[in-house]
Amino acid sequence: MADHLSQDLLTDIFSRLGVKQLCQLKCLSKEWLHTISGIHFKMQHRDQSKKRPTLSLISSSRSDTLFRSQLLHLSSINSSNYELVHEHGSIAEIEPGYNVCSSGLDLLSFYRTGYVGKIWICNPITKKTLALPILSHFAGRACLGYVSSTNEYKIVVSYERTVEDPDDWEFYAGFEKILYFNILTLKLEEESSVIGPWRDLKLSCTQYSGTCRQPIHINGFIYWLAFAKDNTFSSDHVRILEINLANEETKTICCPYGYSFRFSHLAEINGHLCLVQNEVDCHMLNIWMLKDHESGAWCLEYSIDVHESAYNFTIIGYLPRNSESTGDILVRSLKGDLYCYETDTKELKELQSLNKVEYKWCALFYDSFFPIGMPGQ
């Protein structure tokens, strides 16, 4: 019993450490190596890491003179004092022209749209990347999510096609277009990755003509802001599409009454779906939080005075502090300046030390040991 208890305590202590420290500990003891390398420990460590996400700044540089590929560099931020920590350096080498998709997970994804759509998955800690199967005519947006019950990742992409003939894009360019989705399942085994095929995602809710803004992932669900076939921007014609990644069912969530679609986006704050309304005239970011999925009840949870044109600001995510009830809402301006809004003091503070750093994207993610790649890589 004592040995069993000591092993449980050891696992609990190790699960609270970072990947860098654990890699060093693996070299000190065969018992520790066995414990840290097991699938059970990896899942427990990931569950603990979810409680302490990290803000990271991502920059890029070309890896050759012809600019045929680019190196991605990641700089982590100390969440307690927002000081820059250069831990990971160059994390991946991919083709130029990609967008970063942050899902608040232990993985980052990069996608490029066009006649040939390419998506890469990256674990910034292990510095491993994985190319997903190529998509034809991918001209929408992508979002990566995670299903804890099956330990699977699923990535969903949106695209538009005509009702008459989805294969003849040029001929039917003037016809009505409808929003469609593809979905792919990625399962990380102990030593490899199992990639499923792209599949059509059947919508069970009213179809729309397109989507705007970046979709977000929250606790196994992916949310999209979509607008109706007439492309109007009033609250009557804008809905939030919810995709349950576990059963791949969809539903429609109504926006708050009187909501204006322009200069607005979705965000996640402390595990809740939020709709951020950019009040341009009064320089306010109004954050509506969905309190009840069943009734569709929204509450105006926060109003942040940004002291200038509000449509230039985007909510990055939420960093908890010592308790789940308090934390910082991270805000980014259009020109790249970073701010934190303290939920307890209701103060907006500029992160001046970070605003001296040149970066292209910013993202929230947490550490994990899970490998990416195929056997032998």
CATH number of the domain residue 322 falls in: 2.120.10.80
**CA-to-CA separations, 141 to 28, 117, 119, 186, 271, in angstroms, rounded:** 45, 10, 11, 18, 22
CB atoms within 10 A of CB 150: 13
Considering the domain boundaries, does residue 31 fall inside one?
A: no
The pLDDT score that the predictor gives to residue 231 is: 47
Confidence of residue 233 (pLDDT cuts 50, 70, 90): very low
Q: Could you tell me which residue, 236 or 127, shows the higher pLDDT?
A: 127
The pLDDT score that the predictor gives to residue 8 is: 79
The single residue listed with the structure tokens 């992932």 is 217
Strands 249-254 and 84-94: unpaired
Confidence of residue 375 (pLDDT cuts 50, 70, 90): very low
Considering the domain boundaries, does residue 183 fall inside one?
A: yes
Here the tokens at position 45 are: 């460590």
The pLDDT score that the predictor gives to residue 326 is: 83
Considering the domain boundaries, does residue 337 fall inside one?
A: yes
Q: Could you tell me which residue, 284 or 228, shows the higher pLDDT?
A: 284
Confidence of residue 17 (pLDDT cuts 50, 70, 90): confident
For residues 227 and 248, what is the distance between their CA atoms, to the nearest angstrom?
21
Q: Tell me the percentage of the chain whose pLDDT exceeds 70.
A: 79
pLDDT digits (tens, 9 = 90+) for 33-84: 888 877 788 888 888 888 888 888 888 877 666 666 778 888 888 878 888 8
The pLDDT score that the predictor gives to residue 377 is: 43
Confidence of residue 144 (pLDDT cuts 50, 70, 90): very high
For residues 35 and 7, what is the distance between their CA atoms, to the nearest angstrom?
9
Q: Torsion-angle region of residue 41: left (phi > 0), alpha (psi -120 to 50) or beta?
A: alpha
Considering the domain boundaries, does residue 17 fall inside one?
A: no
Here the tokens at position 100 are: 């970063």
Closest CA to 46 of 92, 104, 102: 104
The pLDDT score that the predictor gives to residue 261 is: 61
Considering the domain boundaries, does residue 113 fall inside one?
A: yes
Helix (H) or strand (E) holding 344: none
Considering the domain boundaries, does residue 94 fall inside one?
A: yes
The pLDDT score that the predictor gives to residue 277 is: 85
Q: Into how many domains does the chain fold?
A: 1
Give yes or no for residue 197 having a pLDDT over 70: yes
Average pLDDT for 172-193:
73
Q: Could you tell me which residue, 163 or 16, shows the higher pLDDT?
A: 16
The pLDDT score that the predictor gives to residue 172 is: 44
Cα Rg, the chain, nearest whole Å: 21
> Which residues, listed in sequence order, are joined to residue 73 by a DSSP beta bridge?
59, 90
The pLDDT score that the predictor gives to residue 289 is: 93
Which residues have C-beta within 8 Å of that of residue 280, sequence separation ≥ 6? 263, 309, 310, 311
Closest CA to 160 of 233, 211, 116, 220: 211
CB atoms within 10 A of CB 176: 11
Considering the domain boundaries, does residue 284 fall inside one?
A: yes
Give yes or no for residue 155 having a pLDDT over 90: yes
Average pLDDT for 339-362:
88
pLDDT digits (tens, 9 = 90+) for 289-328: 998 877 888 999 999 988 766 567 889 999 887 666 788 9
Q: Could you tell me which residue, 263 or 242, shows the higher pLDDT?
A: 242
The CB-side HSE value for 257 (13 A sphere, CA atoms) comes to 3
For residues 208 and 117, what is the distance between their CA atoms, to the nearest angstrom?
22
Q: Could you tell me which residue, 92 or 267, shows the higher pLDDT?
A: 267
Q: Could you tell me which residue, 245 or 175, shows the higher pLDDT?
A: 245
- Polymer length in residues for the chain: 377
Give yes or no for residue 374 having a pLDDT over 60: no
The pLDDT score that the predictor gives to residue 220 is: 93
Query: Considering the entire predicted model, what is its pTM?
Result: 0.85
**Containing structural domain, residue 297:** 38-365
pLDDT digits (tens, 9 = 90+) for 250-268: 888 888 876 666 678 899 9
Q: What is the amino acid identity at position 315?
A: I
Give yes or no for residue 232 having a pLDDT over 50: no
Considering the domain boundaries, does residue 372 fall inside one?
A: no
What angle in degrees, to the nearest 10, is found between the helix axes of 30-37 and 2-14?
Answer: 60
